[in-house]
Structure 1
Amino acid sequence: MTDPANDRLIPLAEVMNIVGYGKTIIYRWIRQGTFPKPCHPGGSSSRWSEIEVRAWKDAQLAQREAA
């Protein structure tokens, strides 16, 4: 899925399901600049671009294959 028109904003629970890591490590990576930043569409809710999260995961797998 790379078509921006089909991109969804997904909650943290779905992000954790896709990447297989918990909230603490995801927010640590965000602070370190190594994970996509969330959007804040309203109030205090955070949502991530599904395309960006899946691209991050694909890059991690590609790094593993290159090593």
Structure 2
Amino acid sequence: MAATLDQVRVPRARAGRPRTRPDRVLADKGYPSKANRAWLRTRGIAATIPERDDQIAHRVRRRRRT
């Protein structure tokens, strides 16, 4: 994901050099890892990445433990 986003150029509405950092990233369920989310957070990029069903189920199971 990081290698792909390093190549992205976001055009500006007016004249000027394209921005290299998008405001928001939309990704599919193949990229919900903690590393990807942390990398986006450090760069100040908002992420819209759905979680996998197995990750949600795992989190629910862990929460029930006491």
TM above 0.5: no
Question: Which of these two proteins has the greater Rg computed from alpha carbons?
Answer: 2
TM-score by length of structure 2 reads 0.24
TM-score by length of structure 1 reads 0.24
